[in-house]
């Protein structure tokens, strides 16, 4: 049986371990060293900003799960990984982003715009036709085509997220990524919400996948990490140079925590996704709830697309209350089991009213709550929410 014949749930446990030999450690050791003995006089890369064996296991596991042909690149945080992609664009470039997407990824693109490097275009990713029309316009404006695409310095970069943070909109990824490739547009997908077990954008036509490994990959809300994965050697080299030059590298202990965490992602996600669906179903029926978005809910507008491109629907849902911002804040404060905190993808359930962040767009309802479902008992989670909902007014 080749590694490829093993299921993803097995590969994430079996991958990235030391070679089989007598008395080999079962887990890769942590390399607490800032430099390594050089391979020979021509070796200039054996410094711990360039490489650290502590990164290898997690880089291998995530790359394997994403179906990439090259090892991933680990970073100090999800945003360091996002920067390694967005910073590649040259002066005069265009970055296309969903109108709802992780706000710091938008801020980063807007900073590039403010510095005169890029123009930012926002996309309604649920409307595939309008996205493709914007891609065509951008390709024509920048003069890119599949013949002249520069992966190390993309003149047009498509940034995608599906499901989106926090609106849970689902894009038709094969259609959009396929159109981008045909036009010579480099595409990146932030796959943090879906996880590498839930969706594999490289196999759907993306050039690079980015994860905040802080979330479901590490899974315990105890470490910040990011990772990029690609099968394109030019793109990988450019991101590697970015990491080495800018120095946003993962610490060896953090990398070890990430690898330790990813071993249980299969069971964690199975439980969380199952509970997320149950909560989405049950909360849809509560009179104080106006809308629930979860891609695994058969009534969700994204359900068909998600079913075609996702293997599991993940642990995140959004819920919009029939309430004011103040009432929503009071509800969050009244919860006993759910922790009011930003972040997601950990074993503990977290809840957050997203519009409390000034940088979230006004098209996100004031009373929208993002729920990250952990691995607690689903009835306990539901009862905590319902007790607060029943006391809303």
Active site positions, annotated = 49, 102, 190, 215
Which of 52, 63, 162, 165 binds ligand PLP (CB under 6 A)? It is: 165
Which of 102, 256, 294, 338 binds ligand PLP (CB under 6 A)? It is: 102
Q: Is 192 in the site for ligand PLP (CB under 6 A)?
A: yes
Query: Contact 209/230 with Cβ under 8 angstroms?
Result: yes
Token pair 């003995």: residue: 37
With respect to ligand PLP, which residue has the nearer C-beta, 192 or 328? 192
String marking each residue 336-375 x if it binds ligand PLP according to CB under 6 A: -------x--------------------------------
For helices 173-183 and 128-142, give the axis angle rounded to 10 degrees: 20
String marking each residue 294-313 x if it binds ligand PLP according to CB under 6 A: --------------------
CB of 181 to ligand PLP, least distance (A): 23
Sheet holding 93-98, edge to edge: 73-75, 226-230, 208-212, 186-190, 156-161, 93-98, 118-123
Which of 163, 226, 258, 302 binds ligand PLP (CB under 6 A)? It is: 226
Return the sign of the alpha-carbon dihedral for residues 261, 266, 267, 271: positive
With respect to ligand PLP, which residue has the nearer C-beta, 184 or 251? 251
- Considering only 3-11, 72-80, 89-97, 145-153, which stretch makes contact with ligand PLP by CB under 6 A? 72-80
DSSP string across 41-74: TT----BTTT--HHHHHHHHHHHHHTT-SS--EE
Q: Is 187 in the site for ligand PLP (CB under 6 A)?
A: no
CB of 110 to ligand PLP, least distance (A): 15
CB of 226 to ligand PLP, least distance (A): 5
Which of 59, 126, 172, 190 binds ligand PLP (CB under 6 A)? It is: 190
Please tell me the count of residues contacting ligand PLP according to CB under 6 A: 14
CA distances from 199 to 66, 72, 170, 244, 356 (A): 8, 16, 12, 29, 29
With respect to ligand PLP, which residue has the nearer C-beta, 165 or 318? 165
CA distances from 58 to 12, 28, 63, 250, 345 (A): 9, 10, 8, 11, 17
How many other β-carbons are positioned within 10 Å of the β-carbon of residue 193? 27
CA dist 99 and 367 (Å) reads: 19
CB of 250 to ligand PLP, least distance (A): 11
* Residue among 135, 113, 250 nearest 186 (CA): 135
For helices 325-334 and 378-390, give the axis angle rounded to 10 degrees: 130
- Considering only 14-22, 167-175, 190-198, 330-338, which stretch makes contact with ligand PLP by CB under 6 A? 190-198
**How many residues are present in the chain?**
393
Q: Is 388 in the site for ligand PLP (CB under 6 A)?
A: no
CB of 312 to ligand PLP, least distance (A): 17
Which of 187, 212, 230, 328 binds ligand PLP (CB under 6 A)? It is: 212
Which of 52, 54, 77, 318 binds ligand PLP (CB under 6 A)? It is: 77
- Residue 320, φ and ψ in degrees, nearest 5: -110, 125
CA dist 365 and 181 (Å) reads: 34
Tell how far CA 126 is from the center of its chain: 18
CB of 3 to ligand PLP, least distance (A): 28
> By the criterion CB under 6 A, which residues form the site for ligand PLP?
77-79, 102, 104, 165, 190, 192-193, 212, 214, 224, 226, 343
């Amino acid at each position: 049986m080749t590694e490829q014949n093993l299921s993803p749930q097995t590969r994430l446990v079996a991958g990235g371990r030391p070679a089989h030999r007598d008395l080999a450690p079962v887990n890769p050791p942590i390399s607490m060293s800032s430099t390594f003995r050089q391979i020979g006089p021509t070796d200039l890369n054996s410094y711990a900003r360039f490489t650290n064996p502590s990164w290898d296991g997690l880089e291998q596991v995530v790359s394997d799960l994403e179906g990439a042909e090259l090892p991933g690149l680990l970073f100090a945080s999800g945003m360091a990984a996002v920067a390694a992609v967005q910073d590649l664009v040259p002066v005069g470039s265009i970055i296309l982003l969903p109108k709802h997407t992780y706000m710091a990824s938008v801020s980063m693109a807007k900073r590039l715009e403010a510095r005169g490097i890029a123009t930012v275009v926002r996309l309604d990713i649920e409307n595939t036709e309008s996205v493709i029309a914007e891609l065509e316009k951008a390709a024509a404006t920048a003069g890119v085509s599949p013949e002249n695409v520069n992966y190390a310095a993309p003149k047009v970069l498509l940034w995608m997220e599906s499901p989106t943070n926090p609106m849970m909109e689902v894009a038709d990824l094969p259609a959009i990524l396929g159109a981008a490739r045909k036009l010579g547009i480099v595409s990146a997908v932030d796959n943090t919400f879906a996880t590498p077990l839930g969706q594999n954008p490289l196999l759907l036509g993306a050039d690079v996948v980015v994860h905040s490994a802080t979330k479901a990959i590490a899974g315990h809300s105890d470490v910040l990490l990011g990772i990029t994965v690609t099968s394109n050697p030019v793109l990988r080299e450019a991101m590697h140079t970015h990491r080495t030059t800018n120095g946003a590298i993962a610490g060896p202990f953090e990398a070890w925590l990430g690898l330790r965490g990813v071993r249980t992602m299969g069971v964690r996600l199975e439980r969380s996704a199952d509970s997320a669906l149950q909560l989405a179903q049950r909360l849809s029926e509560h009179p104080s709830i106006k809308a629930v978005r979860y891609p695994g809910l058969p009534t969700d507008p994204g359900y068909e697309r998600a079913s075609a491109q996702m293997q599991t629907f993940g642990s995140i849902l959004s819920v919009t209350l029939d309430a004011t911002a103040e009432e929503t804040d009071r509800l969050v404060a009244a919860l006993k089991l759910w922790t009011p905190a930003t972040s997601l993808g950990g074993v503990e359930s977290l809840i957050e009213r997203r519009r409390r962040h000034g940088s979230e767009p006004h098209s996100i309802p004031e009373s929208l709550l993002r729920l990250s479902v952990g691995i607690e008992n689903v009835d306990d989670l539901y009862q905590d929410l319902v007790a607060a909902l029943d006391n809303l007014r």
